[in-house]
Amino acid sequence: MKREIKFRAYSSHNHKMYPVSNIEWDIDGRIWVTADDGKNGIELIDEEANLMQYAGREDKNKRQIYEGDIVQNEYGKVMEVQYDPRSAVFGVGDYYFGTIGSGKILEVIGNIFENPDLLEVTEHD
């Protein structure tokens, strides 16, 4: 099975989200991310580059879903898309993307870097 593997990165320095064109590690283990800023590209280094992997799914509006996105289901429940390393899958709440059927319609409403308040509201409800 072939799947598309791609990333985006949130720059904690510029406070912006960028598509990623290249990821490298130097001899010291620091990560170097080349991001598309719409001009010449920029380099994000180590902690500045918050990488998020494409989860291989689209929401109900055909928007690509990434790790770290905040989604809402058809019942209004707000959840964060997370990667589960034990099962090697992406999911939300108690559902893995492989088990979400037509009854689990999701909509991306933000992400953990630009809209963390979306999750805080639901935790206190």
pTM of the model: 0.86
Residue 88 structure tokens: 């090697």
Whether residues 62 and 117 share a domain: the answer is yes
Asked if residue 2 is part of any domain, the answer here is no
By percentage, how much of the chain surpasses pLDDT 70? 90
Whether residues 65 and 44 share a domain: the answer is no
CATH of the domain at 81: 2.30.30.290
Residue numbers of the domain that contains 112: 56-124
Stretch 25-38: mean pLDDT: 92
**pLDDT bucket at 121, cuts 50 / 70 / 90:** low
Per-residue pLDDT for 125 more than 70? no
Q: How many CB atoms lie within 10 A of CB 79?
A: 19
